[in-house]
Chains A and B, each alone.
Chain A
Amino acid sequence: MIKEITILPGLDKAGMRESFSEITLTAGETVSIVGPTGSGKTAFITDIELLAQEDTATKRRVLINGLIPDNEVRCNPCLKPIAMITQNTKCFADLSTEEFLQIHARARGIKDTKVIEDTIDLANKFTGEKIVRTSKVTVLSGGQTRSLLVADAILIGASPIILLDEIENAGIFKQEVVKIIQNTGKIIVFVTHDPVIALLTQKRIIMQNGAVRKVIFRSNQEVKAANNLLELDKKVGIIRERLRAGKKITKELVSVSFA
């Protein structure tokens, strides 16, 4: 059972020790990692994914339930409590979508073969053009690949900790993704530049120059702002989908305003 993970400070890009004493993320918590490009956001979640023990570039350490995870947990996907969606939009494996998921399900020790179909169905909720189970993963588009990997992380990775690196960048239905992974009892970490996602999370970790600069807890006012932004984002989403479908923008959508 994962109750919490703890991140212990490492070094920033100049080799200076980070200023926090420890950051603890507990089950059910949603967190966003924000900061300029190159500030160390991806490195931060990669440390969590690798369960770093001062053996990554940042020299951070990550504990599970307060303890150092053992080697087997770090190296065996079957035992790994973490699923990560990287920014990769490409798969190199010369396999069909179905085969890819079958092998990954084996790697994660899942016996029930229904998970394959469920994963493809879920991926198809996130993407515009449907993924067919017999398509090679190498020919999927960037958005399809990311949709598949998000669905894979939720259903096959099925881990108590989910790390998502800039899901907004893939042209997939962000709202759907966020809806499904909220309130799951998991620790969910978003690396994001998207204000909606950043405001939807309970905690924001601000990065600068390779280090955590501060941790901000969402205020009540920000919850309201998040809800407003969510409404606006839905409208923007409708416009986006209309444009994608080759339709014209109607009168009511022209009058969209900040709520």
Chain B
Amino acid sequence: MKLLIIAGPPSSGKTSLVKQIVKKMRGEMKIAFFKIDVVKAFEDVELHKDFGILTRKYCSGDLCPDHAGVMVLGDAVEWAASNQAELFIVESAGLCLRCSPYLNQGLGIIVLSSIAGIHAPEKMGAMVTLADIAIVTKIDLVSQAEREVLVQKIKETHSSVILMETNALQGTSLHRLYDLIRNSGDIDAANLVLKGNPPLGTCTICVGKKEIGWKHHFGVIQKLDGQTAEYLYRGE
């Protein structure tokens, strides 16, 4: 199973990009899609309805969605694999920009809007610097010069990132992305770890740990299927 983790601020065009990927790749491989959000998410219903692919979501409620994502990702990978998915797409909530939900395997994609502001790439830190691919969206809204200025800023933040520009509503110029997905290796689910430090740096129990899934977990987060694990740490 190939893995794609897509991050980026709200309204940057993550879901539009996912739709283009699904439209293109669904004839070639079985796709499962997982969306992590806070209060509400509609992407799972929409993608299932539009393309008939397997979808699922997780809402983190009061908790940081990226932190929740780290915890339930192990379950989610298992869910996708048990449904014989060949490509598993994870879309993050993309809120506080401290997060870098990318794993040591598969492809990590940062989606940035052309109109997000010139300092966005630098401000976003690990979400940009740890990505394998950066996709700039909404390029039809700005001049070529401004696009190139933003691309330059991204390159200066992360020089080895693979850059692409697109109008995600039309799916322009994404051939290279499809090839990268086709050529990405299958993941080894037992050895998935975060590329960067976990998003939430305030908890003394989890700070600095890069493992994903429940077996390394000592917090109070519910599992994907709603059950709270018995071994969870609940304080004294």
Give A contacts to B, CB under 8 Å: 46, 49-50, 52-53, 55-57, 71, 74-77, 83-86, 88, 90-95, 100, 103-104, 106-108, 149, 152-153, 156-157
B142 touches A84 (CB 8 A): no
Instruction: Name the residue among B165, B173, B174 with the largest chain A CB count within 10 angstroms.
Output: B173
Q: List 21 A-B contacts (CB under 8 A).
A: A46-B140, A53-B175, A75-B165, A75-B176, A84-B143, A85-B143, A86-B143, A86-B144, A88-B141, A88-B143, A91-B143, A92-B114, A92-B146, A95-B118, A104-B145, A104-B149, A106-B156, A107-B149, A107-B152, A107-B155, A157-B144
Of listed A88, A103, A106, residue having the most chain B CB within 10 A:
A103
- Residues of chain B with a CB closer than 8 A to A100's CB: 145-146, 149
CB contacts under 8 Å to A, within B94-126, are 114-115, 117-119
- The docked-state distance in angstroms from the alpha carbon of A54 to that of B172 is 9
Using A85-B143, A94-B118 as known contacts, say yes or no to A77 and B152 having CB atoms under 8 A apart. Answer: yes
Q: Is the CB of B173 within 8 A of A50?
A: yes
> Assuming the A-B contacts A55-B171, A95-B118, are A103 and B142 also in contact, with contact meaning beta carbons closer than 8 angstroms in the complex?
no
Alpha-carbon separation in the docked complex, A220 to B115 (Å): 46
- CB contact between B151 and one of A77, A83, A90 (< 8 Å): that residue: A77
Asked if B224 is at the interface (CB within 8 A of a chain A CB), the reply is no
Contacts of B64 in A (CB 8 A): none
Contact residues, B62-97 vs A (CB, 8 A): none
CB neighbours (8 Å) of A104 from chain B are 145, 148-149, 152
Cβ-defined contact, B142 with A107, below 8 A:
no
The answer to whether the Cβ of B4 comes within 8 Å of any Cβ in the partner chain is no
Question: Would you call A93 and B118 a contact (CB within 8 A)?
Answer: yes
**CB distance A93 to B150 under 8 Å?**
yes
Residues of B within 8 A of A93 (CB): 117-118, 146, 149-150
B153 at the interface (CB under 8 A from A): yes
Q: Which of B145, B150, B176 has a CB less than 8 Å from the CB of A153?
A: B145
| Known A-B contacts A91-B143, A157-B144; A75 and B175 likewise in contact (beta carbons under 8 Å) | no
Number of A-B contacts (CB under 8 A): 86
The minimal Cβ–Cβ distance linking B72 to chain A, given in whole angstroms, is 34
- Residues of A within 8 Å of B145, CB to CB, are 100, 104, 149, 152-153, 156-157
Interface size on B, residues (CB 8 A): 30
Q: Which residue of A lies closest to B170 (CB)?
A: A57
**Complexed CA–CA distance, A53 and B195 (Å):** 34
CA distance A92 to B120 in the complex (A): 12
Whether A91 lies near B148 (C-beta < 8 A) is no
Contacting B172 at CB < 8 Å: which of A57, A75, A92? Answer: A57
Q: Which residues of B contact A92 (CB under 8 A)?
A: 114-115, 117-118, 142, 146
The CA-CA distance from A153 to B175 in the complex, in Å, is 27
The answer for the CA separation of A74 and B143 in the assembled complex, in Å, is 16
Tell me the nearest residue of chain A to B139, going by C-beta: A50
Q: A87 — nearest CB in chain B belongs to which residue? A: B143
Closest A-B pairs by Cβ, 4 of them:
A107-B152, A93-B118, A77-B148, A84-B144
Choose among A53, A75, A107 the residue that contacts B164 (Cβ–Cβ < 8 A). A75
Residues of chain A lying within 8 A (CB to CB) of residue B142: 86, 88, 90-92
Q: Is the CB of A107 within 8 A of B148?
A: yes
- The answer, among A84, A88, A106, for a CB contact under 8 Å with B152, is A106
Which residues of the partner chain B approach A71 to less than 8 Å between Cβ atoms? 176
Contacts of A157 in B (CB 8 A): 144-145
With a CB–CB cut-off of 8 A, which chain A residues contact B117? Answer: 92-94
Q: Which residue of B has the minimal Cβ distance to A152?
A: B145
Determine if B163 is an interface residue (Cβ-Cβ < 8 Å): yes
From residue 165 to 203 of chain B, which have CB atoms closer than 8 A to chain A?
Answer: 165, 170-176
Return the chain B residue nearest A84 by Cβ: B144
A49, A90, A95: which contacts B144 (Cβ < 8 A)? A49
Question: Can you name the residue of chain A whose Cβ is closest to the Cβ of B143?
Answer: A88
A47 to chain B, nearest CB (A): 9
Write the nearest CB–CB distance from B144 to chain A, whole angstroms. 4
